Structure 1
Amino acid sequence: MANAILNGVSIAFDDIPPPGPAQRTILLLHGFASNRNEGWKRTGWYSAFERRGIRTLALDQRGHGESMKSHDPADYGREHIAADALALLDHLGVGRCDVFGYSMGTRTAMQVALDAPDRISNLMLGGIGGKLFDPRPAGSVEAMAEAMSAEDPTNIKTEMLKSFRQFADEQGEDRMALAACSAADSRSLERDALGTLAMPVLVVAGRHDELAGDPDELAAVFPRGKGVTLPGCDHFSAIPHGLLKATVFDFLDGMLDDDFPDNYR
C-alpha cells in the first residue's frame, strides 16, 4: 500500500506491476461503501489483471478505505473524486490508461472521461445502466445518509439501504464519512455530454441488478458503446463473478464488437 497527498488530501492506493513487461495499465474505481481491497483484491481482480500482464492501479476514493475521512459533504462530490483519480495518474507518470469503475466508481470514471478524455483508452462501467438518467426519488440522498449515520441499523426500513449499511459495517468503514459522501452535491451526468466521448465504452450489469437498469440503454448514449447483461447476477454478486471478468477481458481483447479491435491499445 502507498499513500500520496493529492489535491491536498491523503489518498491510499496500490500500484501493482505484472511479473513481466506491462501490456497496458488499468485504473480501478470501487463502489460506494467499498474500498480497493474489498472491491478489487478480495474479489480476484488484482490477480486476474496480473495474469494478463496488466499494470493495475487502484485507489480508495475519498471517505473510503484508508484515504481521507471527512464528515463534511463539501469535501466530496464527483468532481473532487475524479480529480483525485487524475492526480494519481499524474503522480505515477501515467499518461493514458484503461479505466474500470463499478457502481459509484462508474460515475467517477465517467467524470474522469469527461474531464480528460485523452487520458482514457477504454472505459468500462459496471453495475450501471439506463437508470442513471432516472430522476432521483425524493429524499433518496437523505435516506442513504441517514442509513449510514443511524445508531441502530435495524431501524432502516429499505432493504437496499440495509444492504449498503451492512456492507459498510462489515468493511469497518467510517459511517459518518460515507454519510457525508452520499450527501455531497454533484452535477448530473448528461446524455449529450457523455455522447461526446469517443473511446470504446463497455456498460455491463447483472440481469437482476435493480439499481442499474438496462446496460444497452446507457451504452447507446456513447458513440462506441457496448452493453452486456450478465445472467444470474445482481448488483452485489456481479463484481466477483467470473462472467464479469470474462466480459471485461473480451472487451479489452476486442472480441465483443467488430468495430472495436483496431482501436484498442
Structure 2
Amino acid sequence: MNLNTPAFSTFVHDGLHLAFFDEGDRSAIPVLLIHGFASTANVNWVNPGWLKTLGEAGYRVIAIDNRGHGASDKPHDAEAYRPWIMADDAVALLDHLDISEANVMGYSMGARISAFLALAHPERVRSLVFGGLGIGMTDGVGDWDPIADALLAPSLDQVTHPRGQMFRAFAEQTKSDRVALAACIRGSRDLISREDMATIAAPALIGVGTKDDIAGSPQELADIMPNAVALDIPNRDHMLAVGDRVFKKAVLEFYERVAG
C-alpha cells in the first residue's frame, strides 16, 4: 500500500470517466471515502492522513474523485450534480470493484452523497461516517448562490462575500474547473427530510467541528437517526476538522465497535 501517493484508475459510469484509488488488501474490510465540494480524493483523504490512518489500521481504502472534481470528468450542467446521481457514481464504483458492501465515509457534500447512497442502497452500507455536516443535512446550510457567483467572478479580487472568497481561493489553489464547481454547488444542495433520515438504520458517526459555521448541530442529526452518535471536534472549523486527530481516533474506535 502506498500511503503517500496512491495510484489512480478510472472507470466509466453515466457516460463519464471517474477517477478513484483503491489501496490495501482486497480481502480487508473496505472503506469508501467521498470527498467534499471543491475538494478531491487527494486533498480530502490523502493529504490530511486518512489513507495512512485507515491503511495502517488494516482497512482497504477506496476514494472517488466526484464528478466535476479532481481527475474525473467535469460536466457543466447543474442537473448532473444532484446528490442521488453522485451517490449512484459511488455505487457504480463499488460494482466496478465487485464490493457488495462498504463502510461509507463522506465529508460535507460527501456526507450528503453518503446519506443519499444509504437511502437508495441500504444493503451496500455497513456503516456511515458523516463529517462536516450535521442537521444542515435536513435543514439546509444557508445561501450558497454567492459561492457559485464567486467561482464565476472574473477574479478573486472582485469577490466580496466571505464564504465565496474562501471557496474561490480554495478552487484556485486546487486548480479546479470553476464552471463545473459552480454547476455542482447549484445542483447538489438537495435536502433530506427528517422522516427519511430516520429510516437510515446503519450505524452512524456524525463529526462536526465546534467552530464549523456551515454544518449545523451533529447531535440534532444524531437524535433523528436510530443508530447514530455525535462527535464534537474541538476548536476546528469546516476546513480544518477533516484531518483532526480527535476525528480520526473516533472513527477508528467507531469501526472497531460496529464495522468489523
- Does residue 84 in structure 1 map to residue 66 in structure 2? no
Matched with 1:260 is none
Q: Map 1:42-61; keep pairs closer than 5 Å.
A: 42-61=47-66
Contact 1:22 1:53 in 2 (8 A): no
Question: In the alignment, which of 127, 140, 145 is matched to residue 142 of structure 1?
Answer: 145
Partners of 1:126 and 1:204 within 8 A in 2:
yes
Task: Name structure 1 gaps, 5 residues minimum.
Answer: 255-262
State the shift of 1:74 in Å.
2.3
Question: Cα offset for 1:135?
Answer: 4.8
Q: Which residue among 11, 15, 18 is the counterpart of 1:8?
A: 15
Contact 1:219 1:226 in 2 (8 A): yes
Under a length normalisation based on structure 1, what TM-score does the superposition of the two structures give?
0.91
User: Using a 3 Å threshold, how does the CA distance of structure 1 residues 187 and 32 change in structure 2: closer, same or farther?
Assistant: closer
Matched with 2:136 is 131
Identity %, equivalent residues:
35
Is the Cα contact below 8 Å between 1:207 and 1:234 reproduced in 2? yes
Report the CA distance between 1:22 and its aligned residue. Answer: 4.3
Structure 1 stretches (4+) deviating beyond 4 angstroms?
none
Deviations along 1:170-219, one digit per CA (max 9) or x if unpaired, are 00110011011111166421111111111111111010001012110111
Q: Deviations over 1:28-70 (max 9, x none)?
A: 0001000001110111111111101100110100100010111
CA contact (8 A) 1:15 1:57 kept: yes
Once the two structures are superposed, residues 139-187 of structure 1 have per-residue CA deviations (whole angstroms, 9 ceiling, x without a partner) of x243221111111212222212211111111001100110111111664
Q: Deviations over 1:214-265 (max 9, x none)?
A: 11011111101100101111111111111110111111112xxxxxxxx533
Structure 2 unmatched ranges of 5 or more: 1-7
CA RMSD of aligned residues (A): 1.5
SS of equivalent residue, structure 2 residue 208: strand
SS in 2 for 1:232: coil
Structure 2 equivalent of residue 258 of structure 1: none
Distance change in 2, residues 1:150/1:243 (3 Å)? same
Deviates more, 1:167-176 or 1:141-150: 141-150
8 Å contact 1:122–1:199 — kept in the other structure?
Answer: yes
